[in-house]
């Protein structure tokens, strides 16, 4: 393997990036101090199977629903990050193989597999050790030449490194050198996926990443559709495949609001057996812009349709009742609707977990809008 244009960055820049990333992590650690994160004991699951995962305090001996965000980190990303930092390539391969099956999922229904690439991408970008990380990938490949995970990891590396070159720039407005570097690294990411052993085809994660790379490159519709169909065959229930393809239909990426709506409806129909309208809600959860949400008395043609969103989130809550993530998304959508009764009902359910709710709108503003009064202490 060869590497061109790599840089480890300045120590000062690294410290600033580290501080920015660790600040929210520190807040989360304080909020979840001395807490276990994991599945509920068998006895608790038998008595209340809807509980799913729990957070448990060693000192206070209490258990409660564990916010999905904690689980994404403690039961997903941190496992991959630890193995990567410790150069435990066998563990990285084992996690990848286990999670590629889809047997292990989070309370909101998504696969643990989605955190694998997320963890590596964050590690590459956080420490800014591009040369050393590339060398470590080479060590992994030499130590375990049949690894399917290392090809995915290398593709993730090049994708993260491409965005390092692009920054916040928009294609067409970037410096030519940066744009060329960005495109070259995207091509290297695709080459890494192409170098994977035949066994890698069965895992849906590389397929979802390929769709992302093709969208970034502005690939032809025919090529994208062929890659999408191949991805669906590899793992139809892997949400990231549908989410990645949805990005292709966003207005800012050459699509349109109408094209996005059409794909969301098609996705809901195609996933009826295991997701249904919940997939419609998930796809619009990618673009939670309040101005796009229908309000009370809004035009019937507004997209996304409130009736469809409401049905989608209600379906998700029925399928995954222990997910704080899904509940928070639903609450945010209800806030922007005119259904105050629904908002207040959902708001009572998430009481105490407001900090973990991914609402995209301030919860206190929503409370005032819909006349929600928090229960007094001790009531």
pLDDT tens-place string over residues 128-172 = 899 999 999 999 999 999 999 999 999 999 999 999 888 765 665
- Name the burial class of residue 292, with classes exposed (0-12), middle (13-18) and buried (19+) by CB atoms within 10 angstroms of its CB: middle
> Are 62 and 100 a contacting pair, CB within 8 Å?
no
Going by C-beta distance under 8 Å and a sequence separation of 6 or more, which residues neighbour residue 211? Answer: 224, 227, 228, 231, 241, 244, 245, 247, 248
Asked if pLDDT for residue 122 goes beyond 80, the answer is: yes
Give the other-Cβ count within 10 Å of 283's Cβ.
25
Cα gap 94→161, rounded to integer Å: 25
Indicate whether 228 pLDDT > 80: yes
pLDDT of 265-274, one tens digit each? 999 999 999 9
The whole-number pLDDT of residue 32 equals 36
Give the number of other CB atoms < 10 A from CB of residue 235.
21
- Residues β-bridged to residue 64: 55
Which of 18-22, 34-38, 61-65, 261-265 shows the lowest mean pLDDT across its residues? 34-38
What average pLDDT does the segment 37-43 reach? Answer: 34
How far is 37 from 284, CA to CA, in rounded Å? 29
**pLDDT given for residue 21 in this prediction:** 39
Do residues 302 and 259 touch, judged by C-beta distance below 8 A?
no
Exposure on the CB side of residue 198, measured as CA atoms within 13 A: 0
| Verdict on whether the full-model pTM lies above 0.85 | no
Question: In this model, does residue 15 exceed pLDDT 60?
Answer: no
Alpha carbon distance, N-terminus to C-terminus of the chain? 64
Residue closest to 155 by CA, chosen among 187, 202, 200, 131? 187
Mapped onto helix, strand or coil, the DSSP state of residue 295 is coil
Q: What is the mean pLDDT of the chain?
A: 82
**pLDDT interval class at 375 (50, 70, 90):** confident
What count of other Cβ atoms lies within 10 Å of the Cβ of residue 225?
13
CA angle 305, 310, 312 (to 5 degrees): 95
More confident residue, 56 or 125: 125
Which position has the token pair 């195609």?
270
Q: Please calculate the CA angle 79-326-358 and round it to the nearest 5 degrees.
A: 80
For 296-324, what is each residue's pLDDT tens digit?
334 445 678 889 999 999 999 999 998 99
Per CATH, domain 68-248 is 1.25.40: yes
Please report the pLDDT score of residue 139 as a whole number. 98
Domains of the chain, residue spans:
28-66, 68-248
Per the structure block, which two tokens stand in for 223?
A: 């090529």
pLDDT tens digit string along 326-366? 999 999 999 989 999 999 999 999 998 888 888 878 999 99
Structure tokens belonging to residue 112: 């643990």
The pLDDT assigned to 184 comes to 95
């Amino acid at each position: 393997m060869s590497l061109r244009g790599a840089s480890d960055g300045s120590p000062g820049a690294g410290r600033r990036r580290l501080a920015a990333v660790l600040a929210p992590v520190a807040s989360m650690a304080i909020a979840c101090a001395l807490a276990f994160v994991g599945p509920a004991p068998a006895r608790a699951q038998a008595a209340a199977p809807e509980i799913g995962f729990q957070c448990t305090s060693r000192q206070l001996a209490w258990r409660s629903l564990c916010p999905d965000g904690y689980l994404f980190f403690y039961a997903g990303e941190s496992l991959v990050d630890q193995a990567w930092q410790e150069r435990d390539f066998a563990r990285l391969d084992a996690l990848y193989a286990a999670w590629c099956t889809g047997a292990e999922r989070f309370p909101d229904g998504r696969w643990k597999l989605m955190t694998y690439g997320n963890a590596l991408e964050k590690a590459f970008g956080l420490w800014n050790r591009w040369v050393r990380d590339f060398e470590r990938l080479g060590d992994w490949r030499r130590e375990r030449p049949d690894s399917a995970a290392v090809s995915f990891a290398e593709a993730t590396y090049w994708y993260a490194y491409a965005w390092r070159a692009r920054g916040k720039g928009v294609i067409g407005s970037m410096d030519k050198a940066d744009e060329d570097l960005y495109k070259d690294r995207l091509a290297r990411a695709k080459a890494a996926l192409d170098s994977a052993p035949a066994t890698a085809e069965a895992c849906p994660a590389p397929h979802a990443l390929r769709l992302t790379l093709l969208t970034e490159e502005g690939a032809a519709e025919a090529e994208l559709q062929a890659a999408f169909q191949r991805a669906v065959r590899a793992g139809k229930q892997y949400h990231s495949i549908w989410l990645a393809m949805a990005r292709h239909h966003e207005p800012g990426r050459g699509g349109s609001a109408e094209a996005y709506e059409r794909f969301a409806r098609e996705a809901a129909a195609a996933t009826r057996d295991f997701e249904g309208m919940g997939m419609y809600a998930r796809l619009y959860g990618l673009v939670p812009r309040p101005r796009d949400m229908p309000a009370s008395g809004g035009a019937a043609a507004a997209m996304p349709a409130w009736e469809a969103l409401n049905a989608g989130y209600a379906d998700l809550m029925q399928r995954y009742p222990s997910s704080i993530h899904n509940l928070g998304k639903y609450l945010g959508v209800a806030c922007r609707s005119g259904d105050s009764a629904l908002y207040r009902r959902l708001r009572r359910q998430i009481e105490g977990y407001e900090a973990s709710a991914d609402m995209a709108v301030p919860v206190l503003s929503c409370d005032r809008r819909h006349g929600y009064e928090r229960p007094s202490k001790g009531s």
